[in-house]
Amino acid sequence: VEVTRDEVELPPPAIDNRLTVHALWPEIDRISTEQLQAAFEGVGGQTGWQLFAEEGDMRMYRREVEVDGMVMDPLKAMHKVRGVSAREMCHYFFNPQYRYEWETTLETMNIVEAISSDTIVFHQTFKRIWPASQRDALFWSHVRAAPQQTYAVTNHSTTNAEYPSNTGACIRLFVTVCLACRTAWPSGEQPTRDNISTSIAYCSTVNPGGWAPAGVLRAVYKREYPKFLKRFTNYVVEQCRGKPLVM
Cβ nearer to ligand 6CM, comparing 5 with 44: 5
Peptide bond into 191 cis (omega under 30): no
Q: CA distances (Å), 189 to each of 32, 147, 151, 184, 186, in order?
A: 31, 19, 21, 11, 6
- Taking CB under 6 A as the criterion, the residue among 19, 137, 180, 196 binding ligand 6CM is 137
Q: Which of residues 143-162 bind ligand 6CM (CB under 6 A)?
A: 155
Radius of gyration of the chain (CA): 18
Least separation in angstroms between CB 172 and ligand 6CM: 11
Cβ nearer to ligand 6CM, comparing 112 with 247: 112
When asked if residue 224 is in the footprint of ligand 6CM (CB under 6 A), the reply is yes
Least separation in angstroms between CB 233 and ligand 6CM: 12
Contact residues for 137 (Cβ-Cβ < 8 A; gap 6+):
122, 123, 124, 126, 157, 172, 173, 174, 175
When asked if residue 175 is in the footprint of ligand 6CM (CB under 6 A), the reply is yes
Residues in touch with ligand 6CM (CB under 6 A): 103, 105-106, 124, 126, 129, 132, 135, 137, 155, 175, 177, 206, 208, 212, 216-217, 224-225, 228
